[in-house]
Structure 1
Amino acid sequence: MDLIDRVLDTNVRAPYVLSCEIARRLIAAKRPGRIVNLASSSAYSYGGNGAALYSISKTAVVRMSEAHAVEWARFNVNVNAIAPDAFSSEIMDGTLQRVGDLTKAFPLLRIGTPAQLDSTLLFLVSPPSDFVTGTCIRVDDVQDGR
């Protein structure tokens, strides 16, 4: 149960509470705003690698973003999410040590860099995305449903 609580607290509860607090402040100030949550490509496919709870929690982030987008649209608060696949991070370093090189199964044969997420994030917080809300943009090289 401790693992379940930790994963859900980190991946669902924390972004939910933070999103609600940001929206509450924006609405009270009568200001438009943008909220971008971090999901995962695991929200769209699960490969049976023992991370079912993680996959479930990231699916919840996608649905939360969709629901909050509907709730807060009338206040000009856009809510979206980004769902990256394998990107360099401390967590990914640990995964690579545990399971080995994953890139052989990727079409681009590489892991993404955090900088490659920048343009997606900048789009979602900039004026060109004024009409984009309630969506999750996948940032990966494997759109094949794996």
Structure 2
Amino acid sequence: MYFTAQAVAKHMIEKGIRGRIINTASIAATVSPPGTAIYSSSKAAVVSLTKALAVELAPKGINVNAISPGVFPSEMSDGIVESPGSKKALKAIPNRRWGDTEHDMMGVLLLLASEKASAHLVGVNITVDGGHSLYAFNPMDPTSVFEDPS
């Protein structure tokens, strides 16, 4: 991710192109359930890299921001979305639904890519998860937060 951003930024600067670099992180960057140490730390690194690149590149007319999606139907999340406990898992999302790539992710992507709408957004990480990361959750038992501890 760093080398790609570095190559793109070098080209943009040489050609005098002002624009956007948008990284994809995850809610795992800030919520680290058991068993996700490597994945969570790699996504936290994406958020940190986004901020560091933003500081370096904003003066050159390149805004760098990130999107952190929650659970969206995908090959990676099939174990959650298609599991027998998926209705229970939805209770851990305040708006009670999985993300929709076309509507939820594309809207944020268009915002961050828009010159007018995001001209003053620099080093921002936008979480797109329906409020899922507002709860500390365990992906193996995502609604344990709602259960009576007794």
Q: In the alignment, what sits opposite 1:18?
A: 4
Work out the CA distance in 2 between the residues paired with 1:79 and 1:38.
11
- Tell whether 2:126 aligns with 1:119: no
Superposed CA offset, 1:53-72 (max 9, x none): 10000000000000000011
User: Aligned pairs, how many?
Assistant: 131
Closer, same or farther in 2 for the Cα pair 1:59/1:88, shift >3 Å? same
The sequence identity of aligned pairs, in percent, is 38
Residues 81-92 of structure 1: pairs in structure 2 closer than 5 A:
81-92=66-77
Cα RMSD between the aligned structures?
Answer: 1.7
Work out the CA distance in 2 between the residues paired with 1:99 and 1:136.
32
Work out the CA distance in 2 between the residues paired with 1:99 and 1:67.
41
Superposed CA offset, 1:80-105 (max 9, x none): 00001111111111454679423232
Give the number of the structure whose residues are more often helix, by fraction: 1
Conserved in 1, the CA contact under 8 Å of 2:73 and 2:81? no
Structure 1, 60-69 or 39-48: larger mean CA deviation: 39-48
- Tell whether 2:27 aligns with 1:41: yes
Contiguous gaps of at least 5 residues in structure 1: 1-14
Work out the CA distance in 2 between the residues paired with 1:17 and 1:95.
32
Q: From 13, 31, 39, give the equivalent of 1:54.
A: 39
Q: In the alignment, what sits opposite 2:122?
A: 133
Contiguous gaps of at least 5 residues in structure 2: 137-150
Structure 1, 108-117 or 35-44: larger mean CA deviation: 108-117
Closer, same or farther in 2 for the Cα pair 1:35/1:99, shift >3 Å? farther
Return the TM-score normalized by structure 1: 0.82
Closer, same or farther in 2 for the Cα pair 1:27/1:131, shift >3 Å? same
Superposed CA offset, 1:91-128 (max 9, x none): 11145467942323222222111111111000001021
- Tell whether 2:26 aligns with 1:30: no
SS at match of 1:137: strand
2:62 is matched by which residue type in structure 1? V
